[in-house]
Amino acid sequence: MPKILFDGTATQSNSRVAFHGGGEYAKYMLRAALDSGFVFDVVLSNKLFSDNAIERMLEEHEKIRVFRVDSKHDIYHLIDEEQYDVFYSALPAAYTDYSGPAKLIGVVHGLRAVELPWDFYRYKYEKRLARKLKGWMISHCSLIQDYLKRKHISHSHQLLKVKNAQFVTASYHTKSSMLNFYPELQADNISVFYSPFSVEKIELSLPKSNYFLMVSGNRFEKNVYRAVKVFDKLFSENRLQEKKVVVTGCGNQSFWKQIKNKDCFELLPYVSTEELERLYEKAFCFVYPSLNEGFGYPPLKAMSYGTPVIASSATSIPEVCDNAACYFSPTNEDDLAARILRIAIDEAYRLQLAERGLKRVKELQERQTKEMERELRNIFS
């Protein structure tokens, strides 16, 4: 059996970002590997926050050795010292300078920085005036945007050209994007394993409330600003009677002050997992206007409760949601407005989307069950 080092730092967080899709992926794979009885070592960072549940889980498995380090160079030293055969990381972006003897198996969740180096409204999400002005200038200068794209392409290339590395992607979209931007890559060296996810239940939860739900209101790539503009316009035109909009993950971005129909919006900070589940469950509709995703968990969460989904047609989202979402072009506000109005007035279509969503979540869960064993063997055997 090969000697494996699992990058536990990918399960940890800093004070700025408490939740990250890649981190949830790492936690899921760690749990699955432990539940399957694989024996391996885990490295954690002394400088990051650990999930208490992960710490308890590691303590319960006596055969799992846990090493705690202060830097990635300590990890490299550990790999050399312990003579590992495989170093597995669900978040390998920091290891662009890796040259150790162990095979690096890294998960590429997406190429967001390359595919979306900028968005016109990105400056709207900045809090400080100086950063807002700088962002506005970049939004109006294609030369700077082109420079940023080249810079991000170069940075990602540093990881993808690491010798003795094998990559896993979370979607076929990401694999195709990698082959597009880096034609020297070999398709056979990139496997696809959809991001694993768990849901509390898969059933139509009734009754529904009267609110449209959106998440991650403070992140430009989630594109909430455009959606808020659309909703506010529809409220002003009195075309969404007895409806409201709930947005989670809101910061103190100035664009919230531009809302004209403030009584129609409930702006929440990041909420607890339990509260978020309740919001998904009772929402009239979940709206996901994201500009870029490597996979995309949130629509599936909504679908698992039979909540209809309006989703962006960008990147991996149609691949993951299949025919279970109502799609729109994420930068076309009129396109989104039309989808919102259809959901609001067409009860039969809402029910159709809810049924398709439940079916899609079941399909992906069945696929995950079949492919998880294969993926674990690829890493740990």
Mean pLDDT per 10-residue segment, the chain (381 residues): 96 68 90 95 95 93 96 97 97 95 96 97 95 96 96 95 94 97 94 91 94 97 98 97 96 94 97 94 98 95 98 98 98 98 97 98 95 94 87
* Other Cβ atoms within 10 Å of 18 Cβ, number: 11
Rounded CA-CA distance 99/246 in Å is 47
Query: Would you say the C-alpha torsion 238, 240, 241, 245 has a positive or negative sign?
Result: negative
The token pair that represents 244 in the structure block: 């409201």
Rounded CA-CA distance 209/347 in Å is 14
Sort 287 into a burial class: Cβ within 10 Å, 0-12 / 13-18 / 19+: buried
Are 132 and 70 in contact by the 8 Å Cβ rule? The answer is no
Rounded CA-CA distance 78/80 in Å is 5
Res 200: pLDDT: 82
Tokens 């409806």: give the residue. 243
Domains of the chain in sequence order: 4-118+149-193+372-376 (3.40.50.2000), 211-365 (3.40.50.2000)
Are 256 and 323 in contact by the 8 Å Cβ rule? The answer is no
Rounded CA-CA distance 297/318 in Å is 12
Rounded CA-CA distance 64/61 in Å is 6
The token pair that represents 317 in the structure block: 């989202």
Q: Is the pTM of this model over 0.75?
A: yes
Q: Report the amino acid identity of residue 335.
A: D
Are 202 and 365 in contact by the 8 Å Cβ rule? The answer is yes
Taking each helix axis from N to C terminus, what angle separates 347-380 and 333-345, rounded to the nearest 10 degrees?
Answer: 110
Tokens 């206007």: give the residue. 289
Q: Where are the alpha helices (DSSP H) in the chain?
A: 21-35, 52-60, 72-82, 112-115, 129-139, 142-160, 172-181, 224-236, 273-282, 298-303, 317-321, 333-345, 347-380
Using alpha carbons only, give the angle 121, 93, 184 rounded to the nearest 5 degrees.
95
- Give Cα separations from 242 to 150, 235, 260, 264, 343 (angstroms): 47, 10, 16, 9, 14
Res 270: pLDDT: 92
